[in-house]
Amino acid sequence: MRQLMEKTMSSATDTASDTYHYEHSGITIRKLSEHVGVEIEGVDLASPLQAHVIRDIKDAWERHGVAVFRNQELPPVAHRDFSAHFGPLVGHVLSRFNMSECPEVTLISNVVNDKGEKIGADRAGMLWHSDMSFVKRPSMGSLLYCVECPPVGADTQFASMYAAYEALDSEDQKHLATLRAIHDYPWHYRTYLKHRTQLTPEEEAKTPPVAHPVVRTHSSTGQQALYVGEGLTRTIEGMEESEGRKLVIELSDFATQPQFVYAHKWRPGDLVFWDNRSTMHRATEFDDRYRRLMRRTTILGDEPFYRAA
Ligand SMILES: [Fe+2]
C-alpha cells in the first residue's frame, strides 16, 4: 500500500499548486476550489483510452472528489463505456427513467414527451445527498453529462466531506464515529418529491431504510469523510426521531459551508464525475421555461464502513 502511494505521488508533479500534470498520460489537472473539484484537460472521453490514462483519471478523481471534463461529445454508449472503466454500472433503482436503448444511462430532465410525461427524473437531488446512499451498497461514483441546460440556475454544488470531517474537533470526530445514520428513500420521496408520481408498494419494498456509519472511511484513500446529507439521511440510529433529524441537519449544514463547496455551472458537453464516498452534492433551482437534459451513469460501490485511523 505504501509503495503504491509513493508510486502514484511520483507520477503526478507539483500537486501543491493549482495546476499539475501527469507525465505519462499527458493529462493536466486544474483545481477548481480549495477543497474539492478539478478540471481534467487533455483527454477525449469518447475515444478508446489506455489503462494508464484511466489510472491517472482515477487517481485525480479520488484525490479531489470531483473531476470536470469540458467540451466532450459523448453519446449514451460512449458515456456508458467510459464509466465502466471504474466499476460495474447500475441503472437507477427505479427503472422508469433508464434509457431503453442503453439502460445503464438514466435521464434527468424536465422535457415533456408527446404524451405530456416527463422523459426523465425532474428536480432530482435538490437537497444535499450522496447518490443512492439509501441502499446497502451505495453508488461509488456518478457521471453526469450535460446535453442541454438553462442559461442560469440548475448548477450542481459539491461539498468535500473530507474537509468537513477534518474541520470537526477531535472529540466530535470520535463521538460521530460511533454513530450510524438511517438513509430512507421512501421517506425522501414522500417528504420531498411530492410533485412526482409516488413510489409503488413494490418500489418501496425494494428500498427499505438502511443504516450506514456517520463517519465513512474511503475504500481507496483511507481518509475519513462525513457521510450524512439532509436529503436522504432521515435520522440517527438509536436516537429519538426528531433529535436524530436535528443532528442530521446540523451536520449537513456544517459540511456544506461555502468554504467546503465547489459550484459547477453547466455547459453543454460537460461531463462531471464525482466520488460519492467523499462528497455530497445538490442541484439548484431553475426556470422551467428552459429545457434541461442530462444523462447519468452510476458505479456500484462497496458497503460503507468505518475504520479508525
Ligand atoms: Fe444526486
Three-class secondary structure of residue 50 per DSSP: coil
Catalytic positions: 129, 131, 281, 296
> How far apart are the CA of 131 and the centre of ligand 1, in A?
5
pLDDT band at 13 (very low <50, low <70, confident <90, very high): very low
Please count the CA atoms within 13 angstroms of the CA of 154 that sit on its side-chain side: 26
Architecture of the domain spanning 2-300: 4-Layer Sandwich (3.60)
Helices within the chain (DSSP H only): 2-11, 51-64, 76-83, 161-167, 170-176, 185-192, 201-206, 241-255
Range of lowest pLDDT (7-21, 31-45, 231-245): 7-21
pLDDT (tens digit per residue) in 38-54: 999 999 999 999 999 99
The amino acid occupying position 116 is G
Long-range contact pairs involving 108-115 (C-beta distance under 8 Å, separation at least 24): 108/144, 108/292, 108/293, 108/294, 108/295, 108/296, 109/291, 109/292, 109/293, 109/294, 110/288, 110/291, 110/292, 111/291, 111/292, 111/293
Range of lowest pLDDT (75-89, 186-200, 261-275): 186-200
- What value does the mean pLDDT take over residues 28-39? 97
CB 140 within 8 A of CB 276: yes
> How far apart are the CA of 65 and the centre of ligand 1, in A?
14
pLDDT of residue 214: 98
